[in-house]
Amino acid sequence: MNVTIDFDMIILNVRKGNYKCIGTGSGRRVFDLGNGYVVKVAKNNKGIAQNEAESHISSSNHSKLFAKTIQVSEDFRLLIMEKAVRIKDFSEVRKYFKVKSNKELFQLEEIKSVYPNHNLLLNDLYRTANWGMINNHPVIIDYGFTQRVRRKYYSIF
C-alpha cells in the first residue's frame, strides 16, 4: 500500500466514533477502517511498545504467518495492519497446517522459527484471539506482546 495515510484524520474519525471498535486490550484498541485494514490505537506506553514491536517484526519477517503492518505513525501511537477474519476456534489453525495437536503445530519449522527469532511468547501464540485468517491462510494478528514488552511493562518485579 503506497498511499500516504492521514493519521490526523484517522484520530479524528476514531474520536467521532466513525470506526467500529473490534478489539481492546490492556494497551491498545483496534478499529476497523472499513477498507480491509484496521488501526491499532495505543492507549498507553504498553500499547506504544506493542505497536513498535509489531512494526519491527512485520518489516523484518517475510513469512505469511503474520498479518502485515502497512504503516505506523512516527510516535507509534497508531499502526495500520491488514484486517483478518477472526477465527472461532484454534482447531482452525491446526486443520490448516494438517496437524492434530498444538504440540505438533509448534514443531512445524514455519512456526517454530518465528517465536524465538522475534522474542514472542509461545503461550501467547496459543491464544485463539491472536490469530485470524487472510485469504484462507491463518495469520498471527496480535504479536506485539514480546518478551521485552512483557519485562518492561507487565512484570511485577
pLDDT digits (tens, 9 = 90+) for 36-58: 999 999 999 999 999 999 999 99
Q: Is 15 inside a domain boundary?
A: yes
Give me 19's grid cell. 470506526
Q: Is 2 inside a domain boundary?
A: no
pLDDT > 70 in the chain, percent: 97
**In this model, does residue 66 exceed pLDDT 60?**
yes
For position 2, what pLDDT does the model report? 56
Q: What are phi and psi of 21, to 5 degrees?
A: -80, 120
Mean pLDDT of 31-35: 97
Task: Give the domain extent around 50.
Answer: 7-154
What is the number of domains present in the chain?
Answer: 1
Contact 46, 149 (CB under 8 A): yes
**In this model, does residue 157 exceed pLDDT 80?**
no
For position 83, what pLDDT does the model report? 98
Mean pLDDT of 81-98: 96
Stronger pLDDT, 129 or 63, i.e. the higher one:
129
How far, in whole angstroms, is CA 15 from its chain's centroid? 22
Q: What CATH number corresponds to the domain at position 112?
A: 3.30.200.20
Q: What are phi and psi of 19, to 5 degrees?
A: -115, 140
The rounded distance, in Å, linking the Cα atoms of 51 and 17 is 22
**In this model, does residue 137 exceed pLDDT 80?**
yes
For position 114, what pLDDT does the model report? 86
For position 156, what pLDDT does the model report? 66
In what helix (H) or strand (E) does residue 120 lie, and over which residues does it extend?
none
SS3 content of the chain, % helix, strand, coil (to 5): 40, 25, 40
**In this model, does residue 97 exceed pLDDT 60?**
yes
**In this model, does residue 86 exceed pLDDT 90?**
yes
Q: Is 1 inside a domain boundary?
A: no
Q: Is 73 inside a domain boundary?
A: yes
**In this model, does residue 21 exceed pLDDT 70?**
yes
Mean pLDDT of 86-99: 96
pLDDT digits (tens, 9 = 90+) for 138-156: 999 999 999 899 989 887 6
